[in-house]
Each structure stands twice: as C-alpha cells, then as structure tokens.
Chain A
Amino acid sequence: MSADALLEVRDLVMHFPVRGGVLNRVQRRVHAVNGVSFDVRRGEVLGVVGESGCGKSTLGKCLIRLLSPTAGSIRYEGTDLAALGHGDLMPFRKKMQMVFQDPYSSLNPRMTVREAVREVALFHGVVSRDAADAYVSELIQKVGLRADAADKFPHEFSGGQRQRIGIARALACKPDLLVADEPVSALDVSIQAQVLNLLMDLKDELGLTVVFVSHDLKVIEHFCDRVLVMYLGNVVEELDCERLHADARHPYTRALLGANPINDPADRRPLTVLEGDVPSPFTLPPGCAFAGRCPVVEPRCRAQRPPLELKTCGHAVACLLEPGA
C-alpha cells in the first residue's frame, strides 16, 4: 500500500481446529482471526484493542510467526512470512521480538537475568562470546535495572522489574519490530507508567516499530499512533489515536469509549451498557459480528458482512451504516 510499510498484512485468517470424538477428527474450528488486512508503518506504534476473545493476541502471535496462519499473507519488507518454513524464518526471527503479558511465566526461573539475555544475543549472533557480558550489562542498565540485577533470578524481582527483564530480552537481538502483548496489564498504575515511559524512550532511541496489544483503551490512546479495533476476529475500525474520541464512528468503538470510566468525579455519566453477549467464535453469524449487541442495528446488518472501508484519509470503518468517503 505505502512505501513506508514495514509489515503488510493481507486477508490474514487463523482458525484453530478442535478435535474430538473416537477418531479424533476435527469437529469444529475456533475462528480467531477472520481475514484481517492492515499495514504496520516503519517507526510507528500501532495499537490493537478489543475485548477478551476478539483475536488480538492471536493476531500478535501470527505477525511474528509464533503461529502459522491458516490463510493470508504477512509481508515483511516484501517477503511473505506466512509462506516460509522454520529454517527460512530464522533471519526474520531476529528482527521481530515479543514482550509478553506475564513476565514471570515467560522467563526461565532457573536462568539468571544475564543468562536469559545473553542466550538471545549469542543465538542470533548479535555479539561475540567475549563481548557478550558487557553487552548484557549495557542492556540491563538501558531498561532501568541496576547492574547487579544481572546475576539474580527472576523470582527475586517485582512484576515491574520482571517486565523490564522481558523487554531487555526482547531487545537483545536488536529487533526492528516489537510485538507487546498486554505488557502493562498485570502491573499497578504507578509501575505501569514506569514501563510505558521506558517503552516510549526505547522506541525513540532505537527507532523501533511497535505493535501494542491491549484491552485498555486509555493506555492505547496514550501510547499509540494508530489503533485497530477488533471484534470477534475482524478489524472493525482503524484510525489515528489522537482523533479517537472525536472521530470514532463504529458503534462498537463508541461503546468501548463510553464504557471506559472517566477519571473525574465531576464528569459522571452513565456508562454505555451493551445488551446481549458476544457470539460464539465456533459459528460466526452471516452478517456483521456485532449485530447482536449493536444499539443501531438494522435488518440488513444481519444479512451482509460489512467490509472495512476507507472513509477518510487514515480512517477505515467496517459498518454498513457509515457512508463512504
């Protein structure tokens, strides 16, 4: 689409088969991601927001090929990652890293911080064995930990510090792209602010491109340049974060904004309450996935699936009721 795209995702589909029965046949499929297309621009922070089960984490894992998508393409500087095998992917693994939500379960409890970070750097050949120790020490200080942290084990750290270790580990192979899956969701607000600031500084310093997956619209709005709003495996809206409040047009995005409590007792308003439940990801409705909960639903919404259409520059909406540009 554009020259500055680091990653071009087209019609990405990820279905998980559910096996069962006597013959262990595939009985049904979880439709986690259903044909999603977007670009990740070089140097931007792209937010992915949605409720649990909307496919945002699956999408993040597909982007860096921790999962092999069922269909669609993920072009990284022109190469389709979705088509590559294990060996051919190796050079790209180095360029894309992930920061996970729970920094405790994603760090090996038997490895010191130094070992965990050094392993990544040496495996990808970023530094020589002799220079590794100095490299690790530098990295540890860069993420705001004291130098003596290097020889401690993960259990000796608090949640916020562990997340810093997770970030140091992800940065050890000098990636271009960082996929952060709910990196601050498990942290207290004061610690959350520390980690967000760190990510912001590192992004500027190292020129990273970040895909930031979160359920928290406040954090997304603060931290990201653009946001993809997902609902049941589809992107329903894509727009600039700065214009989120003013311009959001999809009824689901509006509902998310309205359900988010505002931090001001002087500005009390009834929170937007949606009726109905999220449809099952096993059998998707034929029309708009949001039709069952949408406050402005029309009969045609239940029959026809709305495509994600560009409305104005940089703003795309998947809703039949939104007139085109």
Chain B
Amino acid sequence: MSATRTKAVLEVRHLTTGFKTDRGVVTAVDDVSFDLYPGETLGVVGESGCGKTVTSKSIMRLLPEHLTIYGPASEVRFEGENLAFASEERMRRVRGDKVAMIFQEPMTSLNPVFTVGWQLDEALRYHTDLDARGRRQRAIEMLRLVEIPEPERRVDEYPHQLSGGMRQRVMIAMALCCEPDVLIADEPTTALDVTIQAQILQLMANLKERLSTAIMLITHDLGVVAQVCDRVLVMYAGRVIESGTVAEIFHAPRHPYTRALLDSIPKSGARAHKKRLPTIPGIVPSLFELPAGCRFQDRCAYKERRCVDAEPGLEGALGGRQVRCHFPLDGGAA
C-alpha cells in the first residue's frame, strides 16, 4: 500500500442498518465507517452474525426495503454521491456498473433457466451501448478473462452444466463485465474446495492488478485474509472493533477478541500438534439482548468494571489503526 493515497473510491460513514422484526427493531450494523481505495483489498472479518454481510448488502442496497431502516446519519459515498438514500432507479444504474458484488452461493445467484451468455448480456445491455454482436464478443472475452476453457461453447451453456468453481468464475465475469470501480465479494470461496479457492483468489488478484479495482472481501477465513488483503476491519456484534493493516492485525492485535480469534485457529507444524486450542468461551450475544457496556464483555478474559458500565468508543483515526476497547492489548506478537 502506498503512503500517498489517491482519493477513496467508496466512503462509508456511520452506516447503521436495522431490521423490523416481530420483536421490534434490531440493529444489525451499528455505526460502521471506512474508506475503500482503488487497487486495494479490504478484508472484513468476523463470525456469523457480526454484520459483515449486512454491511455489504447495505452498500449495494440489496436488503428488503420495507423491512430495513437505515440510520439517518448513514452515508455510502460513491464518487461523492450518497447512495444510502438514493432511489431504486438510481441504484439500478450503479449496481453492476460502478459497484458489483459476488455472492457466496454461485448456484442460487445464477438463474438456472437462462444461459451463461444471456446472464452476462443482461448487465451489458443495461449498462453499455454495444450491439448484440459486440455484447456477445464481450461476454466471451469476459469468460476467457476468468479462465473458463472453451468460452465460445460455454457461453451457450446453462449454470447446471458447470462445476462449482466455474459457476463462481461466471459470477466474477458477470460482476466484472462493466469494469466496476468497486467489487464486493461476500465469502466468494467459502463453498469451494481449497484447490478451487486458490484459483479464484489468484484470479481476483490478477484482475485487481489489471483493472485497479477496489475489492472489499468479506470472509471468516483468516488464512485468506492473511494472504490477499491489504487492510482489515474486524467486526463483532454489529460493530467495528478493530481496524489496521493486515500485518498490524495479525502480528499486533489490540482487541482481545481479535487476539482470541487468531489464537483459536489450528496451527500448522509439530509444535502445536495435538495441543488444546485456546478458545473463546461462550457465544456471540443476541442482537436483541446486547449488554449495556462492551459487547464482548461476557467472553473477554480482561473484563473489568468499566467494560460493564460503558461501551468503549472506536479510538484512532479512520483508515488508520483503530480499536474499540477500554484496555487494549499492547500489541505484542500473537
């Protein structure tokens, strides 16, 4: 990452997303702010229910509108324009063209009754001026770019005729066919085998290099984060609890949760073989019954009186090193 940064392509400020439920409004994402720069990969990590997927879907405005409430201060600034409250018509212009998304389940996100080519064509028809022949050429080109063998043949096939890894590559081709500035990848490799995951990660790295796309990579796999991300946001129960460069997060975690999460991954090598793993006791609190103080208090080894009384603020400058803890760790090697 360069010291002299260009302008951020996506600026998220105070993003707060609530859902109307039978038990009242529940806030799934609470005051999340970050910047995304061209050509960088930002990792968003956390366990199930921490709000990482809701964050990405809020940016894309893909949540059911009638059940979703965005906090009044929420801003999702893309090229200066706040998309958090933009019209659906405006969002249709932005989605797929400027900001694109890859989902976890390539089978359920592709339409089974249309060919791969038709689905690639849909975005091109909507966002470009190309004629039918030009669009078909472009679709084949995109399939070749994501390294699908025999793209001229595959373009006329249906999703069920492709393997899981190929479907995910088609999803990437669809997401990239209009050369978006921002690519949001929500667990893009979670359902795939490691050898296929390696292909997809390498592909995303190549594309970032060529098109200088900004990538927001949402994952629970810390190994993937360590290998491909530049900066990392760690989320817990709807809050950002720590952010920093990938080296800072892995080598000098400051939040007890980040530290515990890193410690609980099985390590390679004989030294750790058959040893008990350090664990985080308990489970993530329900969003309906969040404690008054720090949301991690019940599982934290360093809990003190202050943690119960007041929730810590997120200290540190946006885009730099941030931590939400009254008693942050000194950041020794993990």
Q: Contact: B220 with A265, CB < 8 Å?
A: no
Q: Are B268's CB and A218's CB within 8 A? A: yes
Contact A277 B201, beta carbon cutoff 8 Å:
no
Report A54-65 CB contacts with B as 1/0, cut-off 8 Å: 000000000000
Name the interface residues of A263-300: CB closer than 8 Å to any CB of B.
263-266, 268, 270-274, 277-278
Check A261–B227 contact: CB distance below 8 A.
Answer: yes
Q: Is A263's CB under 8 angstroms from B262's CB?
A: yes
Q: Quick check: B273 and A242 within 8 Å, CB to CB?
A: yes
Given contacts A188-B220, A218-B268, contact A197 B226 (CB under 8 A): no
**Which residue of B has the minimal Cβ distance to A224?**
B274
> A222 is contacted by which of B196, B220, B261, B274 (Cβ under 8 Å)?
B274
Q: Are B264 and A193 in contact (CB under 8 A)?
A: yes
- Is there a chain B Cβ closer than 8 Å to A219's Cβ? yes
Give min CB distance, B300 to chain A, whole Å.
12
Q: Are B47 and A189 in contact (CB under 8 A)?
A: yes
What separation, in Å, do the CA atoms of A259 and B199 have in the docked complex? Answer: 9
Known interface pairs A217-B194, A218-B266; A188-B251 also in contact (CB < 8 Å): no
Q: Is B160 an interface residue (CB 8 A)?
A: no
Contact residues in B for A221 (Cβ distance below 8 Å) = 266, 268, 273
B226–A262 contact, CB under 8 A? yes
A219 CB, min distance to chain B CBs, angstroms: 5
Interface residue? A255 (CB, 8 A): yes
Q: Are B265 and A215 in contact (CB under 8 A)?
A: no
Chain A min CB distance to B121 (Å): 25
A106 interface residue per 8 A CB criterion: no
Q: How far is the CA of A317 from the CA of B221 in the complex (A)?
A: 30
Partner of A265, one of B250, B265, B280: B250
Supposing A218-B268, A255-B195 touch, asked if A268 and B227 sit within 8 A by C-beta, the answer is yes
Residues of B contacting A196 in the complex (Cβ-Cβ under 8 angstroms): 266, 277
Residues of B within 8 A of A197 (CB): 276-277, 279
Determine the chain A residues whose CB is within 8 A of the CB of B47 once the complex forms.
188-191
Q: A-facing mask of B258-285, CB < 8 A → 1, else 0?
A: 0011101111111011101111110100
A245 on the B face (CB < 8 A):
yes
Q: Is the CB of B277 within 8 A of A193?
A: yes
The total of chain A residues at the interface (CB under 8 A) is: 46
A255 to B193, CA, bound (A): 12
- A51: chain B residues at CB < 8 Å are 193-196
Say whether B270 contacts A264, CB under 8 Å. no
Tell me which residues across on chain B come within 8 A of A241, comparing CB atoms: 273
Assess whether A245 is in contact with B48, with CB atoms less than 8 Å apart.
no
* B165 CB contacts on chain A under 8 angstroms: 277
Contact A262–B264 (Cβ < 8 Å): no
Complex partner residue of A218 from B197, B227, B265, B280, CB under 8 angstroms: B265
Q: Are A274 and B226 closer than 8 Å at their CB atoms?
A: no
Closest beta carbon of chain A to B230's beta carbon, Å: 9
Q: Kindly state whether residue B222 has any CB partner on chain A within 8 Å.
A: yes
Q: How far is the CB of A201 from chain B (nearest CB, A)?
A: 8
Chain A: minimal CB distance from B211 (Å): 20
Residue pair B267, A222 in contact (C-beta under 8 Å): yes
Does B15 belong to the interface (CB within 8 Å)?
no
> In the complex where A241-B273, A256-B194, A262-B226 touch, is A273 in contact with B199 (Cβ < 8 A)?
yes
A218 surroundings in chain B (CB, below 8 A): 223, 265-268
What is the CA–CA distance of A242 and B224 in the complex, to the nearest angstrom?
Answer: 23
Given contacts A189-B264, A190-B264, A222-B266, contact A263 B250 (CB under 8 A): yes
- Cα A215 to Cα B251 in complex, Å, equals 27
